[in-house]
Structure formats: C-alpha cells, structure tokens
Amino acid sequence: MSQVVVFHGTEHRAGCTMTALSVAELAAKERKELVVLFAALNGRRSTEYVSENSVSVDEFKIQLKSGMGIDKGMLSPSKKAENLYVIAGIGKEEEARHYFPDMAESMLQSLSGKFDLIVIDSGSDLDNGLAVGALRTKGLKYLIIEQTEGAVGRCEKMAETYEKLGVSFDKYILSKCVEGDPYTVNYVSSRLAADKSSFLEVGYSDKGRLSEMEQRTLLEIGGDRYRGDILKITNSVMEAMNLESISLKRKRTWNSFI
C-alpha cells in the first residue's frame, strides 16, 4: 500500500494530528486530481481542527471486526471537499480497548487503490490496537519529535519497543522548532543515531490554541514558516509515492476548506 503515510508522535502534544491533517489538506487543495483520505487511528476522535462533524471509525466497527473492511461508497458522509475525505477516530476513548491491530490493517487493505493518498494520524499511544495496526501497515512512516529533552529521551527509550513491533521510520519531524534552540537537527539526529538527511522541521506557532478554538489547521493562520515546512513534508511524501510535487505561490492567502 504505497499510497499510505502514517504519522506517529513521541508524545500526545507533539503535533501529530495537526501535521497529518495539514499534509492531507495541502495535498488535496493543491492537487485537485488526487483523492485524499485522512483517518485518525489512534484511540481518540482527533477532530480538533475540522470545522464540520466527521464520520467516526466507530460507525465501521462491525465491518472491521468481521474483517470485511470498508467500501469507499460508505464514506460519502466523510467527504469534506470534492477530493478530501476525513474519518474521525474513536468517539468514546473508553471503547478503544475493543479495537485491535488487525481491524486497522483490514480497513487500510480494503481502501487500498481507492485513494491516491491515505494520511493516517496514529497518535502517540502504542497501547492502542488501531495505532499499532496502522504502524504495521506497509507505507511511509514519519515520527514526530517535539524539540525538548523529554521528547528526545522518550524516543530513545521507545526505540526497543518500535523494534519489537517491527516498526521503522522513514523520516523524522522535529516539531515546534524555535530558532536558536540547542535541540537542533544535528544534535537530535546524533542522539538517535539517525541520518540527519531524514529529518524535517515544523516551526513553532503561537496560533495553536486559536486554531483549535476556530477548528482549522495552522495552514491558514500559522504563517509562512509553518506553510513552508508543511509543504516540504508533503512534497517528501509526494516524491516517495512518485506523485507530482507542489509549488505554492508566495504571499498567497490560504483559505481552509475543511
């Protein structure tokens, strides 16, 4: 399933949902010929940045449990734009224990070939069946690490767990970056014994709280640095999937459409 990209965060506030949804939104808006799906497979609803109600994965529980998967026709209520679909995560977090890795794998397998790009927000909790199933799925994997000692230290501690699960990451995203911070790409990549060329950055924005209040991504209000960083991440995905890259015109106003 080469059209699947999974974003995973080292911690809850690493920015996984915002980054994943921003990538899906940017790809769909700038490449109208692509049909894009965003799905939250992480044990939470994860619709803080979507202005309209979204169909939840809960509504497909019977199909997933039986191994039937999901037919694209069932996703009509999830359509947010002509070429963008959004599936929210689990509505009741206490129900997360009833979802297993094979359910996520079944879902993604059934949707393979029906979308040009499937963007998955797998959250940060590995004690969740949907997240583990998403991470085990064949596709691109991006690990999001906040620019803090706590996040880098947690990533080091989790390395063995990722290995046991058979999960490896193609790219790393250093999130909420502030210029002059000592936790640079060079430093973090050396700590993790990772190639620094596999790192991307997302700059810090003080508009995060506003974006949640107004239910929209930072693409519209996060500034040029944020849009530029998301563009680089999106194009790294497009390149890996042999899709045409995106160019944004300078000083163009971004209007959210989800």
Type of residue at 109:
Q
Type of residue at 128:
N
Per-residue pLDDT at 43: 85
* Distance between CA atoms of residues 135 and 164, nearest Å: 12
The pLDDT of 123-150, averaged and rounded, is 95
Per-residue pLDDT at 253: 62
Q: Pairing mode, if any, of strands 171-177 and 79-81?
A: unpaired
The domain spanning residue 43 has which CATH number? 3.40.50.300
pLDDT at 206 over 90: yes
Half-sphere exposure of 85 (CA within 13 A, CB side): 23
Residue showing tokens 């929210």? 88
pLDDT at 255 over 80: no
Question: Does some domain include residue 143?
Answer: yes
Contacts of 74 by beta carbon, 8 Å cutoff, 6+ apart: 60, 63
3-state helix, strand, coil in the chain (%, to 5): 45, 15, 40
pLDDT at 251 over 60: no
Per-residue pLDDT at 51: 78
Question: Does some domain include residue 113?
Answer: yes
* Distance between CA atoms of residues 255 and 258, nearest Å: 9
Across 184-200, b (16+ Cβ under 10 Å) vs e yields bbeebbeebebeeebbb
Report the SS3 class of residue 144: strand
Alpha helices in 205-250 (DSSP H): 208-213, 218-221, 224-240
The pLDDT of 228-241, averaged and rounded, is 97
Question: Does some domain include residue 256?
Answer: no
Sign of the Cα torsion 54, 60, 64, 70 reads negative
Per-residue pLDDT at 107: 92
Per-residue pLDDT at 230: 98
Question: Does some domain include residue 258?
Answer: no
Question: Does some domain include residue 248?
Answer: no
* Distance between CA atoms of residues 131 and 85, nearest Å: 19
Per-residue pLDDT at 1: 53
Contact in structure between 228 and 252 (CB atoms under 8 Å):
no
Per-residue pLDDT at 69: 82
Residue showing tokens 């880098």? 152
pLDDT digits (tens, 9 = 90+) for 63-101: 988 888 888 888 888 888 889 999 999 988 888 889 999
Report the SS3 class of residue 175: strand
Question: Does some domain include residue 255?
Answer: no
Contact in structure between 149 and 156 (CB atoms under 8 Å):
no
Per-residue pLDDT at 257: 64
Report the SS3 class of residue 78: helix
Confidence of residue 130 (pLDDT cuts 50, 70, 90): very high
Question: Does some domain include residue 64?
Answer: yes
pLDDT digits (tens, 9 = 90+) for 160-182: 999 999 999 999 999 999 999 99
Tokens of 231: 């563009």
pLDDT at 240 over 90: yes
Confidence of residue 250 (pLDDT cuts 50, 70, 90): low
Counting the structural domains of the chain, the total is 1
The pLDDT of 184-188, averaged and rounded, is 97
Full residue range of the structural domain in which residue 17 is found: 4-240
Per-residue pLDDT at 161: 95
Per-residue pLDDT at 67: 83
The pLDDT of 103-128, averaged and rounded, is 93
Question: Does some domain include residue 253?
Answer: no
